[in-house]
């Protein structure tokens, strides 16, 4: 069985967008190994949009000149003990306007299997227009068309006999979490595209409430790929990148782990600050994400701009995240936890997963949290 825990790896889109080349993907695979990320659990090397070429007279798709030898690339990635992922969609074109799988589903699935592909992200994009053309003004019929299109590719992948993780990308429309698992989806995007800003990350966190019950071994909510280590161009000074702060990176990574999200790094692994690498390879936080029970966190309560989330872990342990989403970037924020609201009784001994220190959570001791920072504690024996 695949994706028994949320898939971990790297995807080209968040950093390279449409510029990614085979060299970048090879370098990312090398970096996963040399940085220790592979040892920490990152296995999938996923090529996103813009690898596609054209179809020949028989409909067989080729790669474009940025990816001269997909089979060779797959062999290279596999030789490192890693797996290779690829991208397509049910429509005629991908989001970036390249060739997608409409009418060629089985042919494409067979091609991926012949290359040795291990993961497919299948992005709705232009299929939305097909839905509108085929069922104008009929939302229910459009939804059926969409479900059928995803089911078709799932069947095509299964019939190759190769285990290929199936990742649905249709931005969380039509309560995808209700139908994706039954048609073989291993993960499904729950939102629109993430951006490397706190506003985007927090907005996505806010949209995850109520989805926990749909996640579990083999099928996961996907709040989109990681932006840890990324930033946006400063609009006033386009030569400068405004990176997420380390507190924001920590909060982003911690919350994705609490949410049992796929951990697909989206930064340039070949030029990574040590602080960013140490966030991405924090084993204690990864262990929360990869906990075998697969119980996604739920929000216990919010108090002003502070949110408290809990996640039940194997062996009766509990993870508690206290997130200061407050907008004042530089203030620190003393906060009193209510253990009763978490169903707990009296002081709780645990480990702060970012400092590595033993801590005791109480109602009395104020928690100091800088803006956009997080406290993440694992309580082995909650009382
Ligand atoms: C959509 C997806 C992104 C990325 C791009 C590629 O926007 O949501 O994650 O795959 O397409 O074109």
Q: What confidence tens digit (pLDDT) does each residue in 333-351 have? A: 789 999 999 999 999 999 9
Arithmetic mean of pLDDT, 273-284: 98
Round to whole Å and give the CA distance between 249 and 95. 27
- Residue 328 pLDDT level (bands cut at 50, 70, 90): low
Share of the chain above pLDDT 70, in %: 99
Contact between residue 48 and residue 20 where contact means Cβ atoms under 8 Å apart: yes
Cα 122 to ligand 1 centroid, rounded to whole Å: 10
Phi then psi dihedrals of residue 173, to 5 deg:
-75, 155
- What tokens does 371 get? 């803006």
| Residue 330 predicted with pLDDT over 60 | no
Q: In Å, how far are 63, 169, 286, 303, 360 from 280, measured between CA atoms?
A: 31, 24, 8, 28, 25
- What integer best gives the mean pLDDT of the chain? 97
pTM of the model: 0.98
Nearest CA to ligand 1 atom 11: 95
Structure tokens at 248: 């924001």
Q: Is the dihedral of CA 264, 265, 267, 268 positive or negative?
A: negative
In a domain, 150, yes or no: yes
Domain termination site, one of 235, 267, 289:
289
Helix (H, G, I), strand (E, B) or coil at 2: coil
Whether 246 and 327 share a structural domain: no
Same domain, 214 and 329: no
Q: What pLDDT score does 165 carry?
A: 98
If one counts the domains in the chain, the total is 2
Judgement on whether residues 113 and 235 belong to the same structural domain of the protein: yes
Choosing from 30, 110, 174, 193, the catalytic residue is 193
H or E stretch covering 235: none
Distance from Cα 219 to the centre of ligand 1, integer Å: 20
Let me know if residue 173 belongs to a domain: yes
- Where does the pLDDT of residue 92 fall: very low under 50, low under 70, confident under 90, or very high at 90 and above? very high
44 and 121: one domain? Answer: yes
Range in 131-145, 259-273, 314-328 with the lowest mean pLDDT: 314-328
* Residue 83: C-alpha distances to residues 1, 100, 281, 287, 307 (Å): 15, 22, 19, 21, 36
Query: By the 8 A CB rule, do 234 and 241 touch?
Result: yes
The DSSP H or E segment spanning 192 is none
Would the pLDDT of 263 be above 70?
A: yes
Residue 333 sits in a domain whose CATH number is: 2.60.40.1180
Higher-confidence position of 326 and 292 = 292
Task: Over range 306-311, report the average pLDDT.
Answer: 97
Q: What is the Å distance from ligand 1's center to 361 Cα?
A: 41
Q: How far is the CA of 154 from the centre of ligand 1 (A)?
A: 19
Give the per-residue pLDDT at 1: 86
Regarding whether 363 and 269 lie in a shared domain, the answer is: no
Atom 8 of ligand 1, nearest CA residue:
193
Q: Which pLDDT tens digit goes with each residue over 156-176?
A: 999 999 999 999 999 999 999
Provide the token pair at 94.
């991908």
pLDDT for residue 301: 97
Pocket test for ligand 1, best of 99, 169, 189, 204 (most atoms within 8 A of CB): 169
Residues 258, 331: Cα–Cα separation, whole Å: 25
Backbone angles phi, psi at 241, to 5 degrees: -100, 130
Question: With bands split at pLDDT 50, 70 and 90, how would you rate the model's confidence at 235?
Answer: confident
Q: How far apart are CA 353 and CA 375, in angstroms?
A: 8
Q: Which helix (H) or strand (E) holds 158?
A: helix 139-159
Average pLDDT over residues 285-304: 97
Q: Is 234 a catalytic residue?
A: no
* C-beta of 49 in contact with ligand 1 (< 6 A): yes
Same domain, 251 and 303: no
Whether residues 337 and 259 fall in one domain: no
Cβ neighbours for 249, distance < 8 A, ≥ 6 positions apart: 228, 229, 275, 276, 279
Give the other-Cβ count within 10 Å of 304's Cβ: 10
For 2, other C-beta atoms within 10 Å of its C-beta total 13
User: Catalytic residue at 193?
Assistant: yes
At 304 the pLDDT is 86
Neighbours of 59 (CB within 10 A): 10
Q: Which residue has the tokens 């100091």?
A: 368
Q: How many CA atoms lie within 13 A of 309 on its CB side?
A: 28
Same domain, 196 and 283: yes
pLDDT tens sequence across 70-84: 999 999 999 999 999
Q: Taking Cα atoms as reference points, which of 217, 102, 117, 189 lies closest to residue 157?
A: 117
Domain that residue 326 falls in: 298-379
Domain contains 339 = yes
Q: Rounded mean pLDDT of 61-77?
A: 98
* Ligand 1 lined by 227 (C-beta under 6 Å): no
Phi, psi for residue 289 in degrees, rounded to 5:
-60, -45
98 lines ligand 1 (CB under 6 A): no
First vs last C-alpha separation in the chain? 35
For 336, the token pair is: 């009193």
Are both 161 and 280 inside the same structural domain? yes
Residue ending a domain, among 268, 289, 310, is 289
Query: Given this model, what pLDDT does residue 91 score?
Result: 98
The answer on pLDDT for 279 being more than 60 is yes
> Separation of 149 CA from ligand 1 center, angstroms?
18
Query: Is 83 contained in some domain?
Result: yes
Protein residue whose Cα sits closest to atom 1 of ligand 1: 95
């Amino acid at each position: 069985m695949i994706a028994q825990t949320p898939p971990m790896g790297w995807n080209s889109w968040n950093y390279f967008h449409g510029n990614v080349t085979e060299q970048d993907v090879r370098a990312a695979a090398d970096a996963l190994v040399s940085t220790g990320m592979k040892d920490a659990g990152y296995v999938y090397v996923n090529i996103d949009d813009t690898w596609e070429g054209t179809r020949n007279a028989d409909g067989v798709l080729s790669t474009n000149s940025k990816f001269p030898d997909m089979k060779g690339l797959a062999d290279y990635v596999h030789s490192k003990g890693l797996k290779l992922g690829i991208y397509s969609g049910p429509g005629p074109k991908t989001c970036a306007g390249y060739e997608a799988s409409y009418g060629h589903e089985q042919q494409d699935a067979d091609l991926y299997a012949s290359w040795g592909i291990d993961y497919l992200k299948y992005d709705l994009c232009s299929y939305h227009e097909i839905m509108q053309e085929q069922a104008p003004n009929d939302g229910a019929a459009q939804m059926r068309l969409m479900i059928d299109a995803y089911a078709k590719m799932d069947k095509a992948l299964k019939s190759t006999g190769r285990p290929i993780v199936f990742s649905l990308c249709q931005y969380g429309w039509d309560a995808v979490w209700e139908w994706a698992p039954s048609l073989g989806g291993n993960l499904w995007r729950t939102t629109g595209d993430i951006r490397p800003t706190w506003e985007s990350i927090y907005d996505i966190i806010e949209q995850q409430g109520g989805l926990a019950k749909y996640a579990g071994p083999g099928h996961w909510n996907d709040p989109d790929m990681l932006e840890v280590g990324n930033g946006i161009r400063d609009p006033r000074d386009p030569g400068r990148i405004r990176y997420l702060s380390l507190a924001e990176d920590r909060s982003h990574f911690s919350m994705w782990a609490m949410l049992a999200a796929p951990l697909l790094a989206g930064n340039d692994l070949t030029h990574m600050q040590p602080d960013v690498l140490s966030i991405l390879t924090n084993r204690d936080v990864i262990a929360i994400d990869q906990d075998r029970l697969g119980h996604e966190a739920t929000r216990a309560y919010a108090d002003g701009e502070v949110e408290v989330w809990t996640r039940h872990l194997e062996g009766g342990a509990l993870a508690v995240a206290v997130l200061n989403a407050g907008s004042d970037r530089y203030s620190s924020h003393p906060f009193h936890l209510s253990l009763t609201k978490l169903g707990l009784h009296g002081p709780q001994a645990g480990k702060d997963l970012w400092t590595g220190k033993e801590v005791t959570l109480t109602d009395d001791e104020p928690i100091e949290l800088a803006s956009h920072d997080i406290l993440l504690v694992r309580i082995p024996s909650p009382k």
